[in-house]
């Protein structure tokens, strides 16, 4: 969430609107009766808020639209992150980059927090399915890797399988989280754990006003992550490239290698120098790796 909290730090003193923007107010409406995405793996019915809940304008932010691009990369943020995490990502003129905007933050601040990671992924997958049918790959970092996986599952089910899933710095969906949960900790202890992870600016967590603003949605994201149950069912046709860092204690080599069981298609793994948030200082290397995996030549500046 480094990019997002820097934005809050830089705009300290600017008052958050008393009411959400019009878009947020609309998409915060209730689930439409009978509007189902099917059933979850535990048998319960999964619903989505259609019109405008599945609207691309609700879910995606695209700083540089490329309607003529050959392919699309949809990027899912980490816990506490927003679409702004990917606003500096450029993949050249042939790949359009879209950042996913989770509810409850940034310009969706007035939306209710997601309560189920599987359903969140399916709702984003449903929104992706409304886009044109150019080849689409999914990239997710940390929490975002699991949300992207669930989106890929839904897209496979409806015949719109992504051309690739890039899973970054996260345990496989087939492996239980072995780390102690932190979402239920008191604010001070929770903030200390976030600081330890290295993705949160200390000045934001030390400022009571800013901390009160960001902790609720960060906590909600960790609640999703910690409640997510392992799934034995692999993707059928979507290749997976797992990306990680050599010094990441939150996604070890063994945990990243378990992504091999998350697909029946091709699996590969690539490691980078750095820690859990390696992708920010290693952005150029990461983007070159993604382009190569998609069969594109390296983009020229």
Reply yes or no on whether 36 is catalytic.
no
Residue whose pair of structure tokens reads 């997710």 in the numeric block: 140
> How far, in Å, CA of 141 to CA of 277, rounded?
9
Name beta bridge partners: 60: 100
Reply yes or no on whether 142 is catalytic.
yes
Q: For the purposes of burial, counting CB atoms within 10 Å of the CB of 133, is it exposed (0-12), middle (13-18) or buried (19 or more)?
A: exposed
> How far, in Å, CA of 109 to CA of 256, rounded?
32
Residue 284 is encoded by which pair of tokens?
């150029």
3-state SS of 141-208? ECHHHHHHHHHHHHHHHCCCCCCEEEEECCCCCCCCCCCCCCCCCCHHHHHHHHHHHCCCCHHHHHCH
Which residues touch 300 (CB under 8 Å, ≥6 apart)?
92
3 state DSSP class of 289: helix
Give the sign of the dihedral formed by CA 187, CA 189, CA 190, CA 192.
Answer: positive
In this structure, are residues 114 and 102 in contact, taking their beta carbons and an 8 Å threshold? yes
> How far, in Å, CA of 111 to CA of 121, rounded?
16
> How far, in Å, CA of 28 to CA of 25, rounded?
5
Q: For the purposes of burial, counting CB atoms within 10 Å of the CB of 188, is it exposed (0-12), middle (13-18) or buried (19 or more)?
A: exposed
* Catalytic entry in 82, 142, 168, 172: 142
| Catalytic sites, residue numbers | 142, 276
């Amino acid at each position: 969430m480094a990019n997002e909290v820097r934005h809050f730090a830089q705009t300290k003193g600017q008052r958050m609107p008393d009411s959400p923007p019009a878009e947020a107010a609309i998409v915060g409406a209730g689930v439409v009766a009978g509007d189902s995405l099917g059933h979850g793996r535990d048998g319960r019915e999964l619903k989505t808020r259609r019109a405008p809940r599945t609207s691309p304008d609700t879910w995606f932010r695209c700083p540089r639209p490329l309607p003529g691009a050959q392919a699309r990369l949809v990027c899912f943020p980490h816990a506490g992150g927003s679409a702004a995490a990917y606003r500096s990502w450029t993949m050249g003129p042939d790949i359009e980059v879209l950042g996913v905007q989770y509810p409850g933050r940034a310009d969706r601040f007035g939306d209710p927090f997601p309560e189920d990671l599987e359903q969140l992924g399916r709702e984003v997958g449903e929104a992706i399915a409304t886009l044109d049918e150019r080849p689409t790959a999914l990239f997710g970092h940390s929490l975002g890797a699991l949300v992207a996986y669930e989106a890929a599952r839904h897209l496979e089910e409806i015949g719109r399988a992504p051309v690739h899933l890039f899973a970054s710095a996260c345990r496989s969906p087939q492996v239980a989280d072995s780390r102690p949960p932190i979402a239920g900790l008191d604010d001070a202890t929770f903030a200390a754990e976030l600081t330890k992870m290295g993705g949160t600016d200390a000045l934001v967590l030390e400022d009571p006003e800013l901390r009160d603003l960001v902790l609720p949605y960060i906590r909600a994201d960790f609640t999703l992550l910690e409640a997510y149950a392992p799934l034995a069912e692999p993707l059928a046709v979507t290749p997976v490239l797992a990306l990680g860092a050599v010094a990441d204690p939150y996604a070890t080599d063994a945990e990243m290698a378990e992504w091999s069981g998350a697909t029946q298609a091709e699996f590969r793994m690539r490691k980078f120098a750095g820690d859990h948030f390696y992708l920010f200082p290693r952005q150029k290397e990461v983007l070159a790796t993604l382009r190569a995996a998609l069969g594109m030549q390296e983009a020229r500046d």
